[in-house]
Chains A and B, each alone.
Chain A
Amino acid sequence: MLMKGDNMIKEYTQLDKIEGPLIILSGVENVSYDEIVEIRTKSGVKHGKVVQLYKDKAIVQVFEPTSGLSVKDVSVKFTGNPLTISLSKDILGRVFNGIGEPIDGGGNVFGGVKRDVNGRPMNPVAREYPRNFIQTGISAIDCLTTLIRGQKLPVFSGNGLPHNELAAQIVKQAKISDEENGEFAIVFAAMGLKHDDAQFFLKSFEESGVLQRVVMFLNLADDPVVERIITPRCALTAAEYLAFEENMHILVIMTDMTSYCEALREISSAKEEVPGRKGYPGYLYSDLASLYERAGMMKTSKGSITQIPILTMPNDDITNPIPDLTGYITEGQIVLSRDIYQRNVYPPINILPSLSRLAKDGIGEGYTREDHPGLANQIFAAYSKVQEVKALSQVIGEDELSDIDKKYLQFGKAFEYEFLNQSFDENRSMEETLDLGWKVLSILPESELDRIDSKLIEKYYRRG
């Protein structure tokens, strides 16, 4: 069933089948894989993309709910193009929905360039290896999981843990602007975010005075699930434009990646694909990589994209496919712990599983301070010993511990309550953070410091 529309674009007025988020049409001609489809019904326009072609049949994945759709009374148009969004510097301060349409009443973005939201892989020879650290003012991050400009460093959290506060604090305190090149912006992608949480971010951006430098792509908890697949792609396309064409330093916050993955699982099962672990599709790794790898720096541009994806670990389980595959792709992770949070410590970062892989090239002499790598190493080693001692003290009782073990417990407490713990408004300098590190570490006798150069111990260790 077809008829001629304008511009020789054919319109199809009959569907074969509707199955969950998928519609199937036959008799199609000249349709290309991955192109965007417009589906007009009496109640409005929906969008979708071609996910499979077989002879004259096309399977289209619809971004909005298909409920209410019927096989008749529709008009389907193949646009011939992949999904693109319009971009110019005017997107700063704007709010878009999950598929990149303006929802702030500000109208369309005019005069901009059009970019395919799927992006393209960055050529490794075009990349520049990120080496400059970003001071966040948060001790646990600055000292132990140092954030580097151009890094992808996710927050692994759990329901009810203060990951939003942490992200907001980073946005507020992060010195992402270069002295000479003060251009920075924040791209915020919400996938299935609760209204309260979105409100919280909005308010905190406002308070930090960055609202005019934020671009938001919002797919909220009650917005269409399938649309979530597109949201981070729109956001990252905007980020790439601002970073690599406008030479800006971009911080991308993407939350909640768990909702994104669940949307992907839903579509995969509708397509009857062979499910992998926990029902997620086998290509979850590649799919996540196609998002996370869109962070970095390039030789031809002064800008950068730093990504802080946030995900909530189902059951606080770090081996769940979502955190697991994320960790395999990102350049480290910041892991929040319920235990520590219950001890009333903010930010409740469990430093042991946390890691910044790019820190190695961005800290130490010439970058932060000469003692930084050794100090960090020693804190990790000592805090891991604290966990052993804690386990032992639960068996034999604290009183029975050896003197040195008692020192470790004391160190553990001081570390959590003095070093980790800081208020939402507290912005510590790198110098303060490192000094604080030495202060708590000096609870341990000098002879326990086996990871630090003797000369540095001499210089920084606090005796008596």
Chain B
Amino acid sequence: MGDKTGVIIYINGPVIKADNMQDFRMREMVTVSDKKLIGEVISIDGSIGTIQVYEETSGLKVGQKVYGTGKPLSLKLGPGIIGNIFDGIERPLNYIYKKSGNFIGEGIGLASIDLSHIWKTDISVNIGDELKEGDVFGAVQETPLIKHYLMVPPGISGKVIFKVDNGNYNMEEVLVKLEKGNASFELKMYQEWPIRTPRPIKQRLPIQKPLITGQRVIDTFFPIAKGGTAAIPGGFGTGKTMTQHQIAKWSDADIIVYVGCGERGNEMTEVLEDFPKLIDPVSGLSLMNRTILIANTSNMPVAAREASIYTGVTIAEYFRDMGYNVAVMADSTSRWAEALREISGRLEEMPAEEGYPAYLPSRLAEFYERAGYVKTLCDKEASVTIIGAVSPAGGDFSEPVTQNTKRFVNVFLGLDRKLAYARHYPAINWLSSYSGYLTSLEEWYKDNVAEDMMELRGEMLSILQEESDLLEVVKLVGEDVLPDDQRLTLEIAKVIKIGYLQQNAFHKEDTYVPLNKQYEMLKIIDLLYKESKEAIKEGIPISKVKSPEIYEKVVKMKYTIPNEYKNEFDDLSNEIKSYFEGLMHTYDMNAYER
């Protein structure tokens, strides 16, 4: 099988064609020329095969050979993935660095996690145990944060006829042997899995828990669910990457897979430099202990960009299968779609909308469908959440990638250029964004945060909606002519926008805010609103009601009240109450005197 060879007849960028390919299989991984460039068969027509090459094709010649590997493009899945950074086809960038230095050369060959690494391994099964696919037979403490469970690969089962003792083993060591009928299987510390095939699960479960991000506009207004899908579209510089980084840093997922898909090299370096120094608020350990990076930067080969998001999601599924909640960030899915378009163009396929291939929507759907809250093969509850950035051309959301993504995701966090220009960050537009998980998560918020959390959310959102209508009027006549109750709406909306929705990622307190503080903040704003409204009803003019001091205190509570608050919110609410009591009192007195 492995000794079939094709002969190159055509070269056009990352797409090559070879003759004598009739024995190759569709989607088979191949190596090209003596440089052993990695490629994948993407179509076969008679004896002519088309191959997309994951490395630079400069220097290739007609007549050079294409070698089969007999298997589809797959990943080695085992300990050594976490904390690591890989290229689009799971080759460690550190390994590439050792081989080719500062700049990435081609012909690195196939490389993956380090199989010679010795891991302290615990085996949890005994001779005679019956194991089925997905069952755990051992574990390795991969990082201080993550225990890496060793699982029976999908499709394999049998009785344990051999096992090693607990101890230190490298990854090629046979740890357990299974026997079924007269077939036997050797289990090692790693398994292989093709990137384009979703890993099997027992059952999909309904969404029930939020992915808590510590970002107020997300958690309170447009929550993302564990096992859910979200898209973050926005023009350049509106904050997609910042939002993704914030979620990668602070969300309560067990494991983060960050796919830098066609974006900047410096952004990957930034994660590599910053994450090891950041401390996970829950465990007190470095965030790198739960983070996996896949990098195909914008100047790396385009075909590997197409593969990178599948590599990311396959790794995520593998850790999900152990029982973890994994979140995948893909920044940016538009670059992936463009890679698809470029390759399709070179194949001279019939383009559909804006040059994208007709299969763009189905590919997007397949990708986002790999998210889910599930029961794993070994009966654990676990999830893969997918959060994709979208970079629409010209910042215009009507383009095909944004539109098609919208069809397949449940949370839409639309970034707004206007907000970004005014440095309102995160620039998530509260009127056009939505979360489809509100009903599924309502119960959870009630049980775990507060009975009226979602009610408060609704109230705030309606104030913002009302503000937006009023602003249309203000644009024409100015604010001064509005009646006081409407001016109050504008003032409170301002408090919500500046004091709540805006969240400074660079402020040590504000960068991450736990749900209970979010709730307390909402309650304060609500109190301020109700008291102010009451006062206005009594005929007190807005100029008196809007005490600069009180309003400023509320707007700045995000900075002044720490995440580990004690009585600060009670104090603030007492202060508000007593201010308004005083106000009402003076007003009553004045009225009386009059």
CB distance from A400 to the nearest CB of B (A): 6
In the complex the two chains form, what is the Cα distance from A173 to B295 in whole Å?
A: 37
- State the CA gap A122–B93 with chains docked (Å): 11
Say which one of A251-259, A275-283, A338-346, A407-415 lies at the interface with B. Answer: A275-283
In the assembled complex, the Cα of A344 lies from the Cα of B474 at a distance in Å of 31
Cβ contact within 8 Å between A360 and B266: no
* Residue pair A34, B58 in contact (C-beta under 8 Å): yes
The docked-state distance in angstroms from the alpha carbon of A274 to that of B343 is: 11
A56 contacts B by Cβ under 8 Å = yes
- The B318-377 residues at the A interface (CB cut-off 8 A) are 335, 338, 341-342, 345, 351, 354-355
Q: For the complex, what is the distance from the CA of A357 to the CA of B260, rounded to whole Å?
A: 17
Q: Using Cβ atoms and an 8 Å threshold, which residues of chain B touch A130?
A: 266
Q: Which residue of A has the minimal Cβ distance to B417?
A: A353
B519 in the interface, Cβ–Cβ < 8 Å? no
Q: Across the interface, name the chain A residue whose C-beta is closest to B391.
A: A328
A298 near B: Cβ within 8 Å? yes
Query: Quick check: is B541 within 8 A (CB to CB) of the other chain?
Result: no
With both beta carbons as reference points, the residue of chain B lying nearest to A402 in the complex is identified as B480
Write out, one digit per residue, whether chain B residues 508-550 have a CB within 8 A of any chain A CB (1) or not (0). 0000000000000000000000000000000000000000100
Docked Cα-Cα span, A283 to B15, in Å, equals 14
Q: Are A121 and B103 in contact (CB under 8 A)?
A: yes
CA distance A392 to B391 in the complex (A): 32
Give the chain A neighbours of B56 by CB distance below 8 A: 120
Least Cβ–Cβ distance between B417 and chain A, in angstroms: 8
Q: Is the CB of B269 within 8 A of A128?
A: yes
Known: A82-B59, A282-B341. A124 touches B269 (CB 8 A): yes
- Number of B residues near A (Cβ < 8 Å) is 74
CA distance A303 to B247 in the complex (A): 33
Q: Given known contacts A319-B396, A380-B422, is B85 in contact with A124 (CB within 8 Å)?
A: yes
Bound CA span A392–B472, Å:
11
With A34-B57, A355-B237, A402-B480 as given contacts, are A285 and B298 in contact (CB-CB < 8 Å)? yes
Whether the Cβ atoms of A55 and B345 lie closer than 8 Å is no
A380 (CB) vs chain B CBs: closest residue: B423
Chain A, range 110-135, C-beta contacts under 8 Å to B? 118-130
Give every chain B residue within 8 A of A296 (Cβ-Cβ): 265-266
- Tell yes or no: B102 within 8 A of A by CB: yes
A293 within 8 Å of B (CB atoms): yes
List B contacts of A431 (CB < 8 A).
none
- Contact of A3 with B by CB under 8 A: no
Residue of B nearest to A289 (CB): B298
Q: Could you say which of A275, A293, A380, A395 has the most chain B C-beta atoms within 10 Å of its C-beta?
A: A293
Which A residues touch B12, using CB under 8 A?
Answer: 51-53
A274 close to B273 (CB less than 8 A): no
Q: Which of A65-73, A209-217, A447-455 contacts B (4 or more CB under 8 A)?
A: A447-455
Bound: A321/B394 CA distance, A: 7
A381 within 8 A of B: yes
Q: Judge whether A373 is part of the interface by a CB distance below 8 angstroms.
A: yes
**When the two chains form their complex, are residues A33 and B57 in contact, meaning their CB atoms are under 8 A apart?**
yes
Which positions 370-424 of chain B face chain A at CB distance < 8 Å?
Answer: 391, 393-396, 417, 421-424
List, in ascending order, chain B residues with CB within 8 A of A20's CB. Answer: none
Q: In this complex, which of A276, A329, A333, A385 has the most chain B Cβ atoms within 10 angstroms of its Cβ?
A: A276
Complex-state Cα separation, A327 to B421, whole angstroms = 14
B57→A122 contact, CB < 8 A? no
Mark A303-330 against chain B: 1 for CB-CB distance below 8 A, else 0: 0000000000000000111001001110
- Known contacts A123-B96, A392-B478, A293 near B265 by CB under 8 Å: yes
A327-B474 Cα distance, complex, nearest whole Å: 33
Residues 270-302 of A at the B interface (beta carbon under 8 Å): 273-277, 282-283, 285-286, 289-290, 293-294, 296, 298, 300
Chain A residues 160 to 207 lying within 8 A of chain B, measured CB to CB, are none
Q: Which residues of B contact A54 (CB under 8 A)?
A: 9-10, 62
Q: Which of A125, A283, A320, A327 contacts B93 (CB 8 A)?
A: A125
Complex CA gap A185/B272 in Å reads 30
How far is it, in angstroms, between the C-alpha of A25 and the C-alpha of B273 when the chains are bound? 50
Q: Which chain A positions have C-beta within 8 A of B566?
A: none
- How many residues on A have C-beta within 8 angstroms of the other chain's C-beta atoms? 78
Q: Across the interface, which residues of A come within 8 angstroms of B395, CB to CB?
A: 319, 324
Q: For A119, what are the chain B residues with a Cβ–Cβ distance below 8 Å?
A: 103
A58 — nearest CB in chain B belongs to which residue?
B62
Cα A114 to Cα B141 with chains together (Å):
48
A5 to chain B: closest CB distance in Å?
19
- How far is B235's CA from A327's CA once the two chains are assembled, in angstroms? 9
> A130 to B251, alpha carbons, bound, how many Å?
27
Q: Is B114 an interface residue (CB 8 A)?
A: no
CA distance A30 to B64 in the complex (A): 10
Instruction: Give the complex CA separation of A332 and B237 in angstroms.
Output: 7
A34 to B265 CA separation, bound complex (whole angstroms): 25
Contact check, B421 vs A282: say whether CB atoms are below 8 A apart.
Answer: no
Choice from A286, A380, A395 contacting B299 with Cβ under 8 Å? A286
Residue B562 lies at the interface, judged by CB distance under 8 Å to chain A: no
- Residue of A30, A126, A321 near B97 (CB, 8 A) is A126
Contact across chains for B266 and A127 when beta carbons are under 8 A apart: yes
Contact residues of B between 467 and 509, Cβ < 8 Å to A: 474-480, 498, 506
A8 within 8 A of B: no
Q: Does A244 sit at the interface, judged by CB under 8 A?
A: yes
* Cβ–Cβ contact A384 & B421, under 8 A: yes
Rounded to whole Å, the gap between the CB of A336 and the closest CB of chain B is 15
Is A352 part of the binding interface, using a Cβ–Cβ cutoff of 8 Å? Answer: yes
A324 to chain B, nearest CB (A): 5
Give A264 to B61 CA distance when docked, in angstroms: 25
In the complex, what residues of A have CB within 8 A of residue B93's CB?
Answer: 123-125
The residues of B that contact A55 with a CB separation of less than 8 Å are 9-10, 62
* Contact bitstring B160-196, A, C-beta under 8 A = 1, else 0: 0000000000000000000000000000000000000
Known pairs A293-B299, A396-B477 / 7 extra A-B pairs, C-beta < 8 Å = A33-B60, A121-B265, A124-B93, A124-B297, A275-B355, A285-B298, A381-B422
5 A-B pairs (CB sep. < 8 Å): A320-B394, A358-B266, A385-B422, A392-B474, A453-B559
Residues of B at under 8 Å CB distance from A?
Answer: 9-12, 56-63, 85, 93-94, 96-97, 100-105, 235-237, 260, 262, 264-266, 268-270, 272-273, 295, 297-300, 302, 335, 338, 341-342, 345, 351, 354-355, 391, 393-396, 417, 421-424, 474-480, 498, 506, 548, 552, 555-556, 559
